[in-house]
Amino acid sequence: MTFEYYAETFLKIKKAELKPSTYYRYEGTIRTKILPFFQGRNISEVKASELRLWLLNYQCSNKTLTHYISMLTGIFDEAIYDEVISSNPCRFLRKPRIMKKDIQPFSVSEMHRIIDYVDNFNFKSYLYIAFYTGMRSGEIMGLKKEDVDFEKNIIKVKRTRGRHGENSPKTQSGFRSVPILDLLRPHLQELYGQHDHEYLFVTQYGKPYNHNETFYNKFWLPIFPILGITYRRLYNTRHTFATMMLSGGYTTPHNLAQILGHRDSQMVHQVYARFINDGKFDFKLDINPY
């Protein structure tokens, strides 16, 4: 049986298991990076040494290489299940160590300069929500009016909208309630009252945005050369919220993990360790616990 047959089998199975956005990433990688190299080969003839040489062709991040190895492993596993091969050659591949990149949150002054400069109402509202909740782009684009509870001062995160449609959050912890800070509340109320559509963010044609590409290309990218601020991704609004909440001692890593939609605080400790303000957890020393 050919390598291509099992690559296609792997993709068919993953299409039923993965969210569309993740599946299309898998499909793109396999069709453009993996299949051209192994197409036409009998899968039982592909050796570990070939896989190692193939990986050397790519000058990319260790995280990307790890994804490649994961997909290759899945393809060979399908052949193992059919007893076409007896072992997976990927077990001889050394997974590269993934080094966490140092995050680059915006400073308070940079955040205010960016928000003050933006004059598009929808994008300014988007930035207020992003900077003051730490929500992901797709989560913001997927917000409906029913998700905003001004009485309880919370935003319920129930879905995400992106290039490949609307989906539920990636994990169960992604379903969560995010507090509405007092500084965000008036801007959220103004956005809420702009129209009668069920979604918070709608285009000039009265349709919900499918993704934030328009915001990114038309408004976000031009900001940096104009304001003289070092470019960072829109995702860094999330990092900014997290670092400001921790460094200011406004919340604990455990509570922040819940707000951001992480399963536990491990990710918060790994990514934001240097911003955690231990002063928030001042311990009374003049006590006798026994």
| Separation of alpha carbons 8 and 138, rounded Å | 29
Q: Which two tokens stand for residue 225?
A: 């050369």
| Separation of alpha carbons 18 and 22, rounded Å | 6
| pTM (two decimals) | 0.75
Share of the chain above pLDDT 70, in %: 93
| Separation of alpha carbons 191 and 144, rounded Å | 11
Q: Highest mean pLDDT: which of 136-145, 166-175, 249-258?
A: 136-145
Q: How much is the average pLDDT of 110-118?
A: 96
Does residue 85 have a pLDDT over 80?
yes
Q: Which residue has the tokens 């008036």?
A: 186
pLDDT at residue 148 in the model: 96
pLDDT at residue 283 in the model: 47
Q: Which residues pair with 42 in a beta bridge?
A: 2
Smallest Cα–Cα separation from 275: which of 102, 140, 119, 130?
102
DSSP string covering 19-65: -HHHHHHHHHHIIIIIHHHHTT-BGGG--HHHHHHHHHT----HHHH
Largest CA distance in the chain: 75
Confidence of residue 96 (pLDDT cuts 50, 70, 90): low
C-alpha torsion sign, points 146, 152, 153, 159: negative
pLDDT at residue 271 in the model: 84
Q: Taking all residues of the chain, what is their mean pLDDT, rounded to a whole number?
A: 88
Q: Which domains does the chain have, with CATH numbers?
A: 3-92 (1.10.150.130), 108-279 (1.10.443.10)
Give the chain's radius of gyration (CA, Å).
23
The secondary structure of 143-179, three-state, reads CEHHHEECCCCEEEECCEEECCEEECCCCHHHCEEEE
Confidence of residue 289 (pLDDT cuts 50, 70, 90): low
72-86, 128-142, 158-172, 196-210: segment of lowest average pLDDT: 158-172
DSSP state of 142: T
> What would the pLDDT profile of 115-152 be if each residue is shown by its tens digit?
999 999 999 999 999 999 999 999 999 999 999 999 99
> What would the pLDDT profile of 12-24 be if each residue is shown by its tens digit?
999 998 888 788 8
Confidence of residue 188 (pLDDT cuts 50, 70, 90): very high
Does residue 187 have a pLDDT over 60?
yes
DSSP string covering 208-246: B-SSSHHIIIIIIHHHHHHHT-----TTHHHHHHHHHHH
Give the C-alpha distances (Å, rounded to integers) separating 119 from 124, 129, 220, 272.
7, 16, 12, 32
Give the C-alpha distances (Å, rounded to integers) separating 18 from 166, 227, 275.
13, 40, 34
Smallest Cα–Cα separation from 157: which of 131, 178, 187?
178
Per the CB < 8 A criterion, the answer to whether 51 and 90 are in contact is: yes
